[in-house]
Amino acid sequence: MSFNPGSAVVGTDGVTVTVTFDEAVTQPLGSQLGGETIIWDAASTAKTVWVGQVNIRSTATKAESLPLSIKGFEDASGNPGAENTDHQFALQPVVTISEVTVSAGVATVKGSMTQSGDSAKVALTFSDTDDGTPDVSETYTLLSSDSWTQDVDVSSLAAGTITVKAVVTNSQNASGEESDTFTLDKQAPTLASTNPVSFNPGSAVVGTDGVTVTVTFDEAVTQPLGSQLGGETIIWDAASTAKTVWVGQVNIRSTATKAESLPLSIKGFEDASGNPGAENTDHQFALQPVVTISEVTVSAGVATVKGSMTQSGDSAKVALTFSDTDDGTPDVSETYTLLSSDSWTQDVDVSSLTAGTITVKAVVTNSQNASGEESDTFTLDKQAPTLASTNPVSFNPGSAVVGTDGVTVTVTFDEAVTQPLGSQLGGETIIWDAASTAKTVWVGQVNIRSTATKAESLPLSIKGFEDASGNPGAENTDHQFALQPVVTISEVTVSAGVATVKGSMTQSGDSAKVALTFSDTDDGTPDVSETYTLLSSDSWTQDVDVSSLAAGTITVKAVVTNSQNASGEESDTFTLDKQAPTLASTNPVSFNPGSAVVGTDGVTVTVTFDEAVTQPLGSQLGGETIIWDAASTAKTVWVGQVNIRSTATKAESLPLSIKGLRREDAQATQVRKTRTTSLRCSQ
C-alpha cells in the first residue's frame, strides 16, 4: 500500500492510493481515507493492485494523520476480504507566522498551526542579508496548543531586513513551513530634528490648566510614559499603538517665583523594535511674567510706580507707558532693566501729559521673550493746593494772652494735603496731630510766646504742604491770631471825689480803648463808667469823678480792647472816704519845750491826727512856717521844727495854724485847729 504524495495538507485533492492484495480481488468498494470515499480506477475484472483517488478534507485541527479503511473486496472464488485499517495517511502541518515584534534585540514570533498533534517541534531560523553573519536558529517542542509564541535573541544579526522561517514537524514526521520578514532596528528613537516640540499656548502664567504639548519623534514610538513639564505629569491622548506624534495635556503649577521657564522631560518611549529612547530635556516652556502695579503716586509731575512680578528672572525688562485722554498729547514711555528683584519702583516724569485721568501700562518681558502686563489709572493733578475758601482757619480759644500753652489751630484745605511741616504762629512751630496720610483738615497745637508788648496779633504761616499729586502749596500768611491785652491797675488815689487810676497794658497796639467802671456796695447807686482811647503808650492815667458813689469800698474794673477786638481786664478795690481828717481828740498837739522866749530856735511841734494825713504844708506858729520832718507817705503823727520870732511885746502866746493836709486817699481836710503857745517874758 502506498500514497502519492506520501503526505499532504488538509484540502489537497487527488491523492493517489495504491493498494496491493495477495491475490486478485474485486474493486474495494466503500474504502475511505479519513471518511472520504476513494474513487478507484474503473475496471471490470479482479486485480491484485488497485489504484484510486481521494481528497484530503476537513478534520480535527490537531490530527496528524488520516485512517485508511480498505473494504468491500472479494477474491475470484467469492471469498470476501476483511476490512483493513492498519494504515494511516500522514497530514502535513500547516504553520502560520502571525506576528513578529522586536524589542531590545529580542524577536518575539507568534504563530499558529494545524495537524501538529501534541508534541510537534518548531524550528525557527533567522537570517539577515549579510552573508558574513551566521543565522540564528532555535528549535522548540510545542505541547498541546494550536498557537505558539517564541522569543529569540537576534541581536547578533545585522540591522535591516530579517527573514524568519518556521518549520513545524509532527509525530508523523510530516513537516510544514512558513517564512516572513521584519526589520531589525537597532537605532534608539529620538525627537524629530525639525519642530520636535510645540506648546499651545506658547507661554502661560503659573496656574494655567490644559496646556497642550505636541511631541514629534523620528519614528513611531510608544506612549512616552512618565514625561513631565516642570514636575507635572503629561497626560497623553489614549493610543494603543506606536505613533510619531504624541499629543498631551499638562497643568502649569507653582514654581520658584523667579523661574522664567519650566523644563520639559520626554521619556519612557520606545520604537517598534523595542529600542528605548533616551530621556530628552532639551526643551523649555516659557512662563509668562505676572506683573502687578501696587501703587502709583505723583509728586510735582513725577509718577512713582511701584510693582512686583513673578517669572521674571534676573534681567527682565519693564516698559511703562503713560497716556492721558488728550489725543493730542504724546504718550510717555520708558523701559528699564530690572535686576534680581521681584519688586520694583520707577520714577517717570509725566508733567508733559494733560491733567486728569492717566492710564499706566506695565509690560514685563523675561529672557524667554514671554510677556505679562498690567494697567492702572491715576489722577494727574497739576493744581497747587490752597487753603479752603470758606473758614480756612480757626483758633481755640479765638484769642489768648501771651504765655498761653496749647492753643488749637485748625486749618482746612481745598483738597487733601500732607502735614504742613514748618508752619508757625508768631515764630512758634505748630505741632500737628500725628497722621501718615494726607487730609483736608489738619489740627495742631501751638504755644503763645513772648512778642513785642504792643503787638495785637501773631502772624500765622501755613507752609510745607503738598497734595496727593506732590504739587507743593504756596506759603499762606493771610491770617492772624488775636492777642488778648493784659491790663494792670497799678494805683488808685482819690482826691475830693475824683479817682485817679493808673495802669499799664500789653498787646494793646496804638489805639486801644480802656473802659473804667466804678461800683459801690449800694445797689441803689448807679455805676460810674468812662471809656478812653489810649494812643501809643503802654501805661495810662485817668481821672474819674466818683463823688456820686456811696462812701466805702469801691470796685474799679478796667477793660482794655485792642484793634483785634480782643479784650483783657483787671479789677481792684479802694475806699472812698468823704469825711475830712481832723486832729486827734486826745493830745492833738505838744511842744518841746512847752514854752520859750522869743528868739528861741528849733522848738519841736508834734501834731497827732485822727487818721493818716499828708504833710501839713503851710502850717505856721506865730507866722513862722513849721519845717516838718521829711516823709513821702501819709502819717497820723507829724513832727516839725519852728523858730520863735518877734511878736508884740505884750503877747503872751503864739497862734498855731495846722493846714494843708490831706488824708491818705487825698481827701482835703476841711478842719483847721489853732493852738497857742505861751511866751516867757524877757527880764
Q: What is the mean pLDDT of residues 604-628?
A: 93
Q: What cell does 201 get?
A: 499656548
* pLDDT for 670: 38
Q: Does domain 290-380 have CATH number 3.40.50.720?
A: no
Look at the block and give the residue holding cell 501771651.
Answer: 402
Do residues 533 and 556 make contact, with C-beta atoms less than 8 angstroms apart?
A: no
pLDDT at 625: 95
Summarize pLDDT for 190-231 with one digit per residue, the tens: 999 999 999 999 999 999 999 999 999 999 999 999 999 999
CA 395 – CA 417 distance, rounded (Å): 20
Q: What is the structure's pLDDT at 340?
A: 63
Q: What's the CA gap between 193 and 545, in Å, rounded?
A: 125
Whether 596 and 573 have beta carbons less than 8 Å apart is answered as no
Q: Which of 141-150, 506-515, 624-633 has the highest mean predicted lDDT (pLDDT)?
A: 624-633
pLDDT tens, position by position, 516-533: 999 998 887 788 999 988
Q: What is the pLDDT of residue 671?
A: 36
**By mean pLDDT, which of 433-437, 567-571, 588-592 is the weakest?**
433-437
What does the pLDDT average to over 556-576? 92
Per-residue pLDDT tens digits for 630-643 = 887 889 999 999 99
Per the model's pLDDT, the better-predicted residue between 445 and 275 turns out to be 445
Distance CA 271, CA 294 (A): 53
pLDDT for 439 beyond 90: yes
Angstrom CA distances, 473 to 300, 420, 568, 635, stand at 11, 9, 36, 70
Averaged pLDDT, 505-524? 86
Strands 302-310 and 290-299 come out as antiparallel
**Residue 499 clears pLDDT 80, i.e. is over it:** yes
DSSP notation for 608-652: EEEEEE---TT-EETTEEPEEPP-SS-EEEEEEEE------TT--
**Banded pLDDT at 666 (limits 50, 70, 90):** low
What's the confidence (pLDDT) of residue 574? Answer: 93
Q: What are the Cα distances from residue 281, in Å, to 190, 196, 225, 267, 544?
A: 12, 12, 15, 9, 113
Q: Strand 624-625 and strand 635-642: pairing?
A: unpaired
pLDDT of the residue at 631: 80
pLDDT for 342 equals 77
CA 357 to chain centroid? 23
**Can you give the pLDDT at residue 144?**
63
pLDDT at 571: 95
% of the chain at pLDDT higher than 90: 63
Mean pLDDT of 268-286: 92
Class for domain 486-576, per CATH? mainly beta
Residue 346's pLDDT is what? 93
Give the rounded percent of residues in the chain with a pLDDT score beyond 70: 95
**Residue 677 clears pLDDT 70, i.e. is over it:** no
Domain 94-184: give its CATH architecture.
Answer: Sandwich (2.60)
Spatial separation of the C-alpha atoms in residues 491 and 504, rounded to whole Å = 10
What is the C-alpha to C-alpha distance for residues 169 and 173, in angstroms, rounded to an integer?
6
Mean of all residue pLDDT scores within the chain: 89
pLDDT at position 497 is: 87
Which residues are 460's β-sheet partners? Answer: 425, 479
Nearest CA to 248 out of 232, 271, 270, 272 is that of: 232
As a whole number, mean pLDDT of residues 581-609 equals 94
Lowest-confidence range among 17-21, 288-292, 297-301, 559-563? 297-301
pLDDT at 436 over 90: no
- Judged against a pLDDT cut of 50, whether residue 358 lies above it is answered with yes
Least confident of 284-288, 338-342, 357-361, 455-459: 338-342
Contact 356, 339 (CB under 8 A): no
pLDDT number for residue 557: 95
- Residue 355: half-sphere exposure toward Cβ, Cα within 13 Å: 8
Cα–Cα distance measured from residue 52 to residue 68, given in angstroms and rounded to the nearest whole number: 12
Is this structure's pTM higher than 0.75? Answer: no
pLDDT digits (tens, 9 = 90+) for 45-76: 999 999 999 999 866 778 888 999 999 999 99
Strand partners, 69: 32
Determine the pLDDT at residue 509: 80
CB 342 within 8 A of CB 308: yes
What is the average pLDDT across 71-99? 94
Instruction: Give residue 675's pLDDT.
Output: 43
Residue 459 backbone phi and psi in degrees, to 5: -75, 140
- For residue 147, the model assigns a pLDDT of 84
pLDDT digits (tens, 9 = 90+) for 305-319: 999 988 888 888 999
